[in-house]
Amino acid sequence: MRTIPSSIVIGIGKGGSCKTTLATQLSGIWSSEGKRILLADLDVQASATKVVGLDPRAHGDGRHLMDAVMYGDDLVTVPARENLEVVVAGRHTKTLSHHLVTIDNGIDVFAYPFEKLMASGRFDRIVFDLPPSGSSRLADLAMQTGKYLVVPTSSGVDNIDGLRVLAEELETLESDIVLLGVVMMKILASAPRKRVETRAEVADVLAGVADPFQTIIREAGAAYDDSRRAGLFLHEYAEWASTVSVSDQISSRIKIPANLADLAREFYELADEVDDRIALAERLLAEAEAAEAGR
Ligand SMILES: Nc1ncnc2c1ncn2[C@@H]1O[C@H](COP(=O)(O)OP(=O)(O)OP(=O)(O)O)[C@@H](O)[C@H]1O
Ligand SMILES: [Mg+2]
């Protein structure tokens, strides 16, 4: 099996399960903390590309990855922030996905451009934003070559069946990818006891398959949408909002959602937790390798 070093796949899950939200906000926080991040958008919808403020059509419309995989070109990355570059998706992402269905060495040709970039030392981490499960060959290849996997779920809340389907999918994964955990997204914050119960329920359904992260991302659609309209990551928008006085809010009729700061804090906590689980996984993998070598 081939593994792209330091790659984190955000995936598995139906449309709207918050894959892109998670991939982009984590990338934004990590890059703001000084990690050099490559955010690779593998979805023809190019949602991650747009969330970071890039227009796919102005940046090749998915051509960069297609040319790297199909013609061996160096993979072009587009700067979005300090320490954050993007592999832009778009119209050509679909062409690439179709092409990859027709060839036998898909894993090798997909992984190679990313491995080469990581070998160049320009990045500390690659974050892959996947399209909905089962919709693209690119998603399968990322699952087969990624090192770590983080799975968002918002289905557990009112739909335990959705979680069971997810647990089955995870159990039958044909990949060496290390599942770091499941993130519960869009959970109502107004009922703390219910949150604890929901977490226990999710942990129960996923027992033996995956461990939910401690941090739960609250339901805060308006705060999230405002940050998108402002073209900012949540943590950037929350920082800006903290500089706007109440009198300014009233005089300019800006309404900053009350739960914005909490939502931003939860993403910071989650980013730390993912860091911790990566560190733990690295240690365990190194120990396993050492044990293997000593045999
Ligand atoms: N904390 C939140 N509370 C409520 N809604 C949210 C929150 N965060 C994101 N959303 C909304 O959830 C929706 C789904 O988000 P997202 O695009 O990340 O899903 P996705 O899994 O990437 O979807 P797709 O499979 O189509 O790529 C978006 O409409 C977004 O506005
Ligand atoms: Mg998406």
Q: Which residues of the chain have pLDDT under 50?
A: none
CA dihedral of residues 34, 84, 149, 261 (deg, nearest 10): 70
For 104-130, give one letter per residue: b (16+ CB within 10 A) or e.
eebeebbbbbbbebbeeeebebbbbbb
Cα separation, 209 vs 140, in Å, equals: 19
d(CA 109, CA 72) in angstroms, rounded, equals 8
Cβ of 221 below 6 Å from ligand 1 = yes
Neighbour-count burial of 275, counting CB atoms closer than 10 A to its CB (0-12 exposed, 13-18 middle, 19+ buried): middle
Position 165 scores a pLDDT of 80
Residue minimizing CA distance to atom 28 of ligand 1: 16
What are the tens digits of pLDDT across the range 127-149? 999 998 878 999 999 999 999 99
> pTM for this structure?
0.95
Helix (H, G, I), strand (E, B) or coil at 129: strand
Tokens of 96: 């690439």
154 lines ligand 1 (CB under 6 A): no
Domain spanning 7-294, CATH architecture: 3-Layer(aba) Sandwich (3.40)
- Amino acid 158: pLDDT: 60
What are the C-alpha distances in Å from 4 to residues 31, 40, 105, 176?
Answer: 19, 12, 15, 11
Q: State how far the Cα of 179 lies from the Cα of 157, in Å rounded to an integer.
A: 21
Q: Is 224 in the pocket of ligand 1 (CB under 6 A)?
A: yes
Structural domain boundaries in the chain: 7-294
**Best of 224, 229, 234, 268 for a ligand 1 pocket test (most atoms within 8 Å of beta carbon):** 224
E-only strand ranges, the chain: 7-10, 37-41, 78-81, 84-87, 125-129, 148-153, 178-187, 212-218
CA separation, residue 205 to residues 153, 163, 178, 182, 286 (Å): 12, 7, 19, 12, 30
What count of other Cβ atoms lies within 10 Å of the Cβ of residue 53? 13
17 lines ligand 1 (CB under 6 A): yes
pLDDT of 57 reads 98
What distance in angstroms lies between residue 262's CA and the mean position of ligand 2's atoms?
23
pLDDT at 192: 80
- Tell me what pLDDT residue 155 has: 61
> Which pair of tokens denotes residue 275?
């860091």
Of 222, 209, 213, 232, residue with least CA distance to 260: 222
